[in-house]
Structure 1
Amino acid sequence: MTAVADVVEAHRIPVLLRLTPNLYALAYRLMKMVPARHILREARRAGTLTAGTTVVETTSGTFGLALAMQCALDAQPLVLVGDPVIDARLHRQLTDLGARVDIVREPAARGGFQAPRLARVAEIRAGIPDTFCPEQYTNPANPDSYSLIADLLVDRLGQVDCLVGPVGSGGSMCGTTRYLREAGPGMVSIGVDANHSVLFGQDDGPRTLRGLGNSLLPANLDHTQFDEVHWLGAPEAYAATRALHRGHALFMGPTSGAAFLVGSWWARWHPDALTVVVLPDEGHRYHDTVYDDAWLAANGMVGPTRAAPREVATPGEGTDGWCRFAWRRRTLAEARDGALAEVVGS
């Protein structure tokens, strides 16, 4: 059991690194191991997950990898439902760990692949007598799991003035923010999203940048936790990912690059504040894309990018590159209505 615990902990517990005098990186090998392990453990305690139960979940990213690793160690059957954009290397890794990967081929008219994937999960579960679905988007155990990370930050740094991180399911940023504010209620929380993601009030649209953003609103996303929201396109995120590697020797994925771009900008403008940026996963899946100059050039990802975000008055204006909106811990409806009122009254 010691070897099993060591494998999981090596991926679950991030490394805290100082990048500049007031900017720290919370660098994970695999951030999604935090909620995956916690959700499965809680399910076992509740009796909804036993030795013969098949775990079924929708994911085309690192939450699936975290589940596959934990389920392989526990000899737990696993079915993952993804879509065609799943990375080929990740697909091979998942199947090698023993997971069955089911690919949904047709998107919905609205909402992309998310809704068909959820429907496929329901269909699969209906055909298997004993199943458990972690439901990362709605399970409160997802954000709750990040109390561990908040404790780590408080223990190492004392007080965090600003937390910056990408948003997908809402679990990591909402959970870590909520627990950190028990020690410092004034802490600033900045969410990093993708252009054309519905998470913070934009219409759903095509997104090259993967690993953050969403086509459906997850229940675990608590909008009132956020002070600011920044939206990015793929070119900015990819360039920042490479800059993070060259400048700090951190080999991370593009969600990490997106968060680093926003966090380093905020830290420069607030030199007296201690800023922590969340770097969710490493860059090994991106050797042939983000870290390949020829691929970047061939896909139109090379060119000038903004040195600072463009301020926008409404979330809907933030669909073009790096944009910033003052969210002010409001609900989604309040932010939309408040933004409209500010424009009308200006």
Structure 2
Amino acid sequence: MTLRTGSDEATHAFQLPRLIRLTPNLYAASFMLMKMIPARYILRQAMANGLLEPATVILETTSGTFGLALAMQGVHLDRRVVLVSDPVIDERLYRRLTDLGAQVERVPAEAGTIVGGFQVARLNRLNELRAAYPSTFCPEQYSNPDNPRSYAVVAELLLECLGQVDCVVGPVGSGGSMCGTVGNLRSVLPDCQAIGVDTHGSVLFGHADAHRELRGMGMSVLPANLDHRIFDSVHWCAPVAAYQATRQLHRRHALFAGPSGGAAYLAARWWAAANPNALTVVMLPDEGYRYQDTVYDDAWLRAAGYLDSPLPAEPVAVTDPRFPQGAWTSYDWQRRSYAEVLGGHQLLSGVG
């Protein structure tokens, strides 16, 4: 198979977002598949450096859209892709991955009881597979600096199209999209604010590791690519708030986003309204097709109790980031390191 590059390759069109004006001072950066940006960049850097030969197997741990981006890239690069995922990976996503030719290994359900949960179990299995194949390349989205580096193209687009950007709001997982986009923006706009959106049960900003229903945000381990000094503030959203905000985004603006984007929209809409003279951009990482039977189904929401309480009008500000307060919490992070914020507290999650 011949490698296709540039605009004749289908995945090229998945990279940059559409910029959509939601209110006079709030724009959405709406992606079809945001994870295509680091996937394409990392794999092409690997090829340029001789790390991705024709017989090399692409290995990665993922339970979401980064795996989809790698599988799509595997088609265009003619490389075998093996993904290690959770037992609860979305079935629609699983079918799409396997139809693209990717091999998907699911760690056993009992792995969720170990320290670090499925993410640690996946990393352990990934290391076993790396030893089993003669030639592998692991993109390592959590630690590869090419992940945040790849988002320079998003910062360039925002500067070219909008000029002044005063605040960027987005969900946080590996740290690549927010740290990369805002880090590059600040080379031109040093005062640009960054609001990271996480979920309860994620260790990224100090919570104890626990079960997380929300997909596309939060982690059970601290990724090396997460630079806490990027963030001015952090918001945590429970599923009830994220799901209702996702539906509100759809009904008000016809934007069909996943719940991580809905959670980011909730925080961004509030910040933009409180700062009418500042231009805010909210990152919407993917579309809502995987959630049609859940978030976009009123019967499912009602049965799960997610329509029993109204969407909060504003977050509850806390002085200790370890403890959530209700469905929507915020904390003034002030561009400090993890140790600077949490060094004086006993870490509930056991991470350093």
- Bin for the TM-score computed over the shorter chain: over 0.9
Which of 286, 300, 303 aligns to 1:281? It is 286
Q: 2: CA distance between counterparts of 1:20 and 1:205?
A: 36
Give the residue type in structure 1 aligned to 2:319. A
- Per-residue deviation at 1:319? 5.7
In the TM superposition, what whole-angstrom CA distance separates every residue of 1:138-170 from its partner, at most 9, and x where no partner exists?
000000000010000000011100000000000
**2:214 alignment counterpart:** 209
- Per-residue deviation at 1:52? 1.2
Q: 2: CA distance between counterparts of 1:100 and 1:270?
A: 47
| TM value normalised by structure 1 | 0.96
| TM value normalised by structure 2 | 0.94
- Per-residue deviation at 1:223? 0.2
**1:49 alignment counterpart:** 52
- Determine if the alignment matches structure 1 residue 271 to structure 2 residue 252: no
- Determine if the alignment matches structure 1 residue 318 to structure 2 residue 324: yes
Q: Is the 8 A contact 2:6 2:12 kept in 1?
A: no
- Per-residue deviation at 1:107? 2.1
Question: 1:23-172 alignment to 2 at 5 Å?
Answer: 23-105=26-108, 106-172=111-177
- Give the secondary-structure state (helix, strand or coil) at the position aligned to 2:58: strand
Q: 1: CA distance between counterparts of 2:321 and 2:115?
A: 19
Give the residue type in structure 2 aligned to 1:34. I
- Per-residue deviation at 1:75? 1.2
Q: Is the 8 A contact 1:259 1:277 kept in 2?
A: yes
Runs of 4 or more consecutive aligned structure 1 residues displaced over 4 Å after TM superposition: 337-340
**2:249 alignment counterpart:** 244
Question: 1:176-195 alignment to 2 at 5 Å?
Answer: 176-195=181-200
In the TM superposition, what whole-angstrom CA distance separates every residue of 1:79-102 from its partner, at most 9, and x where no partner exists?
000011210000000000000000
Give the residue type in structure 2 aligned to 1:35. P
- Per-residue deviation at 1:109? 2.1
**1:19 alignment counterpart:** 22
Q: Quickly say closer, same or farther: Cα 1:322–1:299, change in 2 above 3 A.
A: same
Which runs of 5 or more structure 2 residues have no equivalent in the other structure?
A: 347-352
Give the residue type in structure 1 aligned to 2:339. A
- Give the secondary-structure state (helix, strand or coil) at the position aligned to 2:184: helix
Give the residue type in structure 2 aligned to 1:83. D
46-55 or 88-97: bigger deviation: 46-55
- Per-residue deviation at 1:276? 0.3
Q: 2: CA distance between counterparts of 1:70 and 1:286?
A: 24
**1:334 alignment counterpart:** 340
Q: 2: CA distance between counterparts of 1:52 and 1:2?
A: 20
Q: Is the 8 A contact 2:316 2:325 kept in 1?
A: no
Q: Quickly say closer, same or farther: Cα 1:223–1:16, change in 2 above 3 A.
A: same
Q: Is the 8 A contact 1:229 1:326 kept in 2?
A: yes
Q: Is the 8 A contact 2:169 2:194 kept in 1?
A: yes
- Per-residue deviation at 1:335? 1.2
Q: Is the 8 A contact 1:4 1:73 kept in 2?
A: no
Q: 2: CA distance between counterparts of 1:284 and 1:137?
A: 25
In the TM superposition, what whole-angstrom CA distance separates every residue of 1:281-337 from its partner, at most 9, and x where no partner exists?
000001100000111111222122311000000111226320000000001111124
- Per-residue deviation at 1:206? 1.3
Q: Is the 8 A contact 1:169 1:221 kept in 2?
A: yes
Which runs of 5 or more structure 1 residues have no equivalent in the other structure?
A: 341-346
Give the residue type in structure 2 aligned to 1:291. Y
Give the residue type in structure 1 aligned to 2:98. T
CA RMSD, aligned part only?
1.4
Q: 1: CA distance between counterparts of 2:237 and 2:224?
A: 23
Q: Quickly say closer, same or farther: Cα 1:339–1:314, change in 2 above 3 A.
A: farther
Q: 2: CA distance between counterparts of 1:99 and 1:13?
A: 24
- Per-residue deviation at 1:72? 1.1
